[in-house]
Amino acid sequence: MFTELNSILNISPDSFTQGEFILVSDRQGDASFLLHHFLSFYLRARCRVLFLGLVQTLNHYSSVSQRLGVSLAQAKDKGQLVFLEGLQESLSVLIPQGPRAASGAMDFLRDPAAGLRSLYECVGSRLSGGPGGDVGETWGPPVVLVDDLSVLLSLGVSAGAVLDFSHYCRATVCSRLRGNVVMLTRCDGGEEEDEGDDEGPENLVRGLTHQCSLALRVQGLPTGFCRDIHGQVEVCWRRRQSDGQLTPSKVFQYKVHDKGASFFARGTSSAVL
């Protein structure tokens, strides 16, 4: 958990806004460190977390979370964490071996044009299911984390279907259950490469930005590679001030450490002028 980022966002495990949809995106950078942050943050906040891992495995997140002082194994045993292994589920659909014991979350792989109803229904059923784990434990509001939505485009799912999925998750988790949703998506190329492509990642990011209440956009440094600064993150609040104007966005440069991250207001780091 990154205390400097918590200060920027004005949140803490004891005090954070419920009902938020947080969009994390990256371009020529790697925003996965923010997903690690929110995973450890909400577990420390005693929220019940459902993590949909479409790219990385539970072991990957466990090793990183261990360095951040959070045990995913313990959270899973207590029933606080539910991790849906998208990679393992995909193999069970694409290479069936014996009687299927899969949850059905990735059934859309048989027909991507059918949309993501099976995935949404799986997420919904896991959220509404019993807490399991230790008897007597009481968890806070539910949280859904997804890594990462853009991979669904490469699997043949339309951008519209992905936006429908995020909309239903937001309606269920944020509006009805007063929990939070954090979704990661990536734009590997430049904006001009995706211009006019309705099914490209850029169009997906635009649609998700309209849905979210907070957008964290990670990019590489405009000046190129720097050993001491890894990139910059733009913090965009999608809420309006008393005068009706959107809250101004802020840009911070960052450096990821083994057990955390440092953030600098743009122009204040001696490494980048």
Residue 57 in domain: yes
Q: Are 145 and 52 in contact (CB under 8 A)?
A: yes
pTM summary value = 0.89
- Tokens matching residue 3: 């205390």
Residue 90 in domain: yes
- Tokens matching residue 106: 């990735």
User: Which amino acid belongs to residue 129?
Assistant: G
> What pLDDT digit, counting tens, does each position of 132-191 carry?
555 557 899 999 999 989 999 988 899 999 999 999 999 999 999 999 999 999 987 655
- pLDDT class for 97, splitting at 50, 70, 90? low
**273 has a pLDDT exceeding 50:** no
Which structural domain range is residue 58 located in? 3-128+139-189+199-217
User: Which amino acid belongs to residue 3?
Assistant: T
Residue 272 in domain: no
Q: Which of 161, 158, 151, 231 is nearest to 185 (CA)?
A: 151
**197 has a pLDDT exceeding 80:** no
How far apart CA 150 and CA 158 sit, in angstroms, is 10
Residue 120 in domain: yes
How far apart CA 122 and CA 259 sit, in angstroms, is 33
pLDDT at residue number 36: 95
Pairing of strands 180-187, 140-147: parallel
Q: Where are the beta strands (DSSP E) in 86-128?
A: none
pLDDT at residue number 187: 87
Q: Which of 9-18, 44-53, 90-99, 174-183 shows the lowest mean pLDDT across its residues?
A: 90-99
Q: Are 142 and 127 in contact (CB under 8 A)?
A: yes
- Structurally, the chain folds into a number of domains equal to 1
CATH of the domain at 104: 3.40.50.300
